[in-house]
C-alpha cells in the first residue's frame, strides 16, 4: 500500500483528528482569488465574483472503485481529484476549489494519509484548484474518499446535458476504452501475483493504458480550445461510465436520439491490441468500459468546418429525433444496433 515500505509508521490516534488535518493540509496554499477563506473555519468562503458556481461530488470506495492491491495511494489521491474536476469541465466551467473528505479504518497510518494528500496536492497544483475544506474520520473498514469540486464560471459559458438538438454533431475528445483495458491488465497481473507473490508483473509496453486507468486527467484544457475555435457545445457530459451510458444520458436529458458510427469511435492502437490480447471486443471497452474522463458533447451542424480535422476531437455521430432511438451504426454492415447502458455501475460490478 505504501510506496516506502521501510518507513516508521505513525498511528492516527497519536495526532488526533484535528492534528491530522493540520498536519496534512499545512502545505496547501491558496491560488485562486475566489477563495476568500480556506481550511480552518466552519465553512469555506467563496467569492464568485458575479459569476455562477457549479458544484459536483463523487465518492471513491475501496473494493468498489479501487483495489489497493495495485493502486498506489498517491495515484488514488490524484485520481480522486481529477474525476471530480472532470465533472466541472463537463459543465464547460473552470474548477477552482475542492473539499476532500476521507474515511479510513485504523489500518491506515498517518503516512497513508500523507501519500493520498501528496497525490491530491499534485492534482491541485496541476489544475490550479484550492483545497478549501473537508472532513477526516475513521471507518469500520476500508478507505473512502468523497470529494466535492467547485467551479466558477460566467453564466453564458455553462453547458448542460439537456440542450442538444436533432442534427447536432456528436463529438468526443481524446480516445476511449484505454482506462478499461488498463484495468484488465492490472487485474490480470494482480491475480498472478496473488497466486505466486514471486512472479514479476508483466506491465511493460502497457504504459499508456495503465496511465489512463491509474492517473487519468480531467479535460479542463478543452474549454480554451473550443473558445479558440469559437465553438460553444450545445450539450456536454464527461465519459465516466462508458460512451453508451453517456450518450443515453444526453438523450434522456435532451429528449433527442443519437446515431453513433462504430468506425468513428477513437481508440488508441494499444487499447485495441490489448483488448484483442484479452479476447475483449475493443469497441465494447469504449462503449461500456468507462473511466476515460474524456468529454462528450454536441455542436451545431454549422460548426462542422471549425472542428473537422482538429486533432483533439472526433466527430462520432449526430443527434436525431427522439423516436429514432439511440443506435450504433455497425462498421462495414451498417447494421443498426440499439445502444444500451451496460456501463460500469457501482452496485453491479462488485
Considering only residues 176-215, where is the footprint of its own copies by CB under 8 A? none
Burial of 1: CB neighbours in 10 Å, binned 0-12, 13-18, 19+? middle
Q: Do residues 187 and 179 lie in contact, with contact meaning Cβ atoms separated by under 8 Å?
A: no
Q: Is 188 annotated as a binding residue?
A: no
Cβ closest to its own copies, residue 149 vs residue 299: 149
What is the distance between the alpha carbons of residues 144 and 65, in angstroms, rounded to a whole number?
10
Q: Do residues 292 and 177 lie in contact, with contact meaning Cβ atoms separated by under 8 Å?
A: yes
Among 2, 111, 118, 148, binds its own copies (CB under 8 A): 148
Instruction: Please report how close the Cβ of residue 82 comes to its own copies at its closest, in angstroms.
Output: 14
Among 81, 88, 272, 327, binds its own copies (CB under 8 A): 88
Instruction: Please report how close the Cβ of residue 44 comes to its own copies at its closest, in angstroms.
Output: 5
Strand partners, 298: 170, 235
Strand partners, 299: 169
Q: Do residues 197 and 327 lie in contact, with contact meaning Cβ atoms separated by under 8 Å?
A: no
Helices within 202-327 (DSSP H only): 207-214, 222-228, 243-254, 269-277, 282-284, 304-307
What is the distance between the alpha carbons of residues 185 and 151, in angstroms, rounded to a whole number?
34
- In degrees and rounded to multiples of 5, residue 33 shows phi and psi of -65, -20
Cβ closest to its own copies, residue 3 vs residue 221: 221
Considering the rule CB under 8 A, would residue 132 count as an interface residue with its own copies? yes
Q: Tell me which stretch binds its own copies (CB under 8 A): 98-106, 207-215, 258-266, 306-314.
A: 98-106
How many other CB atoms are found less than 10 A from the CB of residue 2?
A: 17
**Residues 19 to 48: which contact its own copies by CB under 8 A?**
20, 36-37, 40-48
Cβ closest to its own copies, residue 36 vs residue 125: 36
Among 1, 2, 30, 59, binds its own copies (CB under 8 A): 59
Considering the rule CB under 8 A, would residue 18 count as an interface residue with its own copies? yes
Site string for its own copies, 281-320 (x = CB under 8 A): ----------------------------------------
Site string for its own copies, 252-281 (x = CB under 8 A): -x----------------------------
Considering the rule CB under 8 A, would residue 237 count as an interface residue with its own copies? yes
* Residue 325: all three cell numbers together: 432511438
The DSSP output letter for 108 is S
Annotated binding site: 42, 56-58, 65, 87, 117, 134-135, 161, 238, 240-241, 291, 344
Annotated binding site for substrate: 65, 291, 344
Amino acid at each position: 500500500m505504501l510506496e516506502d515500505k521501510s518507513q516508521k509508521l505513525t498511528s492516527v490516534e497519536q495526532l488526533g483528528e484535528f492534528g491530522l488535518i493540520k498536519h496534512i493540509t499545512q502545505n496547501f496554499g491558496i491560488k485562486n482569488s475566489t477563495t476568500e477563506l480556506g481550511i480552518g473555519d466552519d465553512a469555506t468562503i467563496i467569492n464568485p465574483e458575479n459569476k455562477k458556481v457549479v458544484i459536483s461530488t463523487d465518492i471513491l470506495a475501496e473494493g468498489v472503485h479501487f483495489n489497493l492491491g495495485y493502486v498506489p495511494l498517491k495515484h488514488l489521491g490524484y485520481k480522486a481529484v481529477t474525476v471530480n474536476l472532470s465533472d466541472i469541465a463537463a459543465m464547460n466551467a473552470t474548477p477552482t476549489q475542492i473539499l476532500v473528505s476521507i474515511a479510513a479504518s485504523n489500518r491506515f497510518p498517518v503516512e497513508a494519509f500523507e501519500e493520498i494528500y501528496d497525490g491530491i496536492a499534485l492534482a491541485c497544483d496541476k489544475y490550479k484548484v484550492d483545497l478549501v475544506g473537508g472532513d477526516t474520520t475513521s471507518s469500520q473498514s476500508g478507505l473512502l474518499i468523497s470529494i466535492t469540486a467547485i467551479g466558477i464560471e460566467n453564466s453564458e459559458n455553462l453547458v448542460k446535458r439537456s440542450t442538444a438538438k436533432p442534427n447536432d454533431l456528436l463529438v468526443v475528445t481524446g480516445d476511449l476504452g484505454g482506462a478499461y483495458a488498463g484495468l484488465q491488465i492490472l487485474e490480470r497481473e494482480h491475480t498472478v501475483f496473488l497466486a505466486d507473490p514471486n512472479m514479476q508483473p508483466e506491465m511493460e509496453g502497457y504504459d499508456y493504458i495503465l496511465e489512463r486507468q491509474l492517473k487519468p486527467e480531467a479535460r479542463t484544457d478543452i474549454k480554451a480550445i473550443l473558445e479558440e475555435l469559437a465553438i460553444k457545445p450545445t450539450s456536454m457530459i464527461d465519459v465516466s461510465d462508458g460512451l453508451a451510458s453517456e450518450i443515453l444520458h444526453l438523450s434522456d436529458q435532451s429528449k433527442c436520439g443519437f446515431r453513433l458510427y462504430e468506425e468513428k469511435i477513437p481508440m488508441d492502437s494499444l487499447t485495441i491490441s490489448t483488448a484483442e490480447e484479452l479476447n475483449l471486443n475493443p469497441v465494447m471497452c469504449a462503449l461500456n468500459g468507462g473511466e476515460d474522463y474524456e468529454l462528450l458533447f454536441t455542436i451545431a451542424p454549422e460548426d462542422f468546418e471549425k472542428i473537422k480535422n482538429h486533432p483533439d476531437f472526433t466527430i462520432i455521430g449526430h443527434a436525431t429525433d427522439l423516436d429514432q432511438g439511440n443506435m450504433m451504426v455497425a462498421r462495414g454492415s451498417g447494421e443498426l444496433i440499439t445502444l444500451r447502458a451496460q456501463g460500469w455501475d457501482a452496485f453491479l460490478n462488485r
